[in-house]
């Protein structure tokens, strides 16, 4: 699993990291950007298998189908 922490005070988010690394970056952000405010916000997680590349490939397949299907029907 990969974890991303979102700041509750501003729009800051960590990058996708292991839980301990992301949590540390989140705490570091609060210490430097929001001193005196208790650490809040929310955490998001995802399976490592769903890399961004696979989503782009699916979109490409759908686009090709949309282009090919009308041409095939006109014959
Ligand atoms: Zn912040």
Distance separating alpha carbons of residues 23 and 58, to the nearest angstrom: 32
Question: What would the mean pLDDT of 48-57 be, rounded to a whole number?
Answer: 64
Separation of CA 34 and ligand 1 centre (Å): 6
pLDDT digits (tens, 9 = 90+) for 20-50: 999 999 999 999 999 999 999 999 999 875 5
Measured in Å, residue 8 CA sits from the centre of ligand 1 at 6
Query: What is the mean predicted confidence (pLDDT) over 55-73?
Result: 84
Confidence (pLDDT) at 57? 77
Per domain, the residue ranges of the chain are 2-73
Ligand 1 ion: nearby residues, β-carbon < 5 Å = 7, 9-10, 12, 33
- Global pTM value: 0.62
Report yes or no: 27 and 39 within 8 Å, Cβ to Cβ.
Answer: yes
Strand, helix or coil at 29?
Answer: helix
User: What pLDDT score was predicted for residue 75?
Assistant: 63
Q: Give residue-wise pLDDT tens across range 5-22.
A: 999 999 999 999 999 999
Contact yes or no for 9/36 (Cβ under 8 A): no
Report d(CA 41, CA 51) in Å as an integer.
Answer: 24
């Amino acid at each position: 699993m990969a974890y991303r922490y979102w700041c509750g005070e501003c729009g800051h988010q960590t990058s996708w990291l292991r839980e301990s690394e992301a949590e540390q970056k989140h705490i570091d952000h609060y210490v430097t950007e929001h001193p005196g405010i208790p650490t809040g916000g929310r955490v998001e997680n995802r399976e490592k298998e769903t890399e961004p590349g696979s989503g782009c490939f699916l979109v490409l397949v759908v686009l090709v189908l949309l282009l090919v299907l009308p041409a095939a029907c006109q014959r």
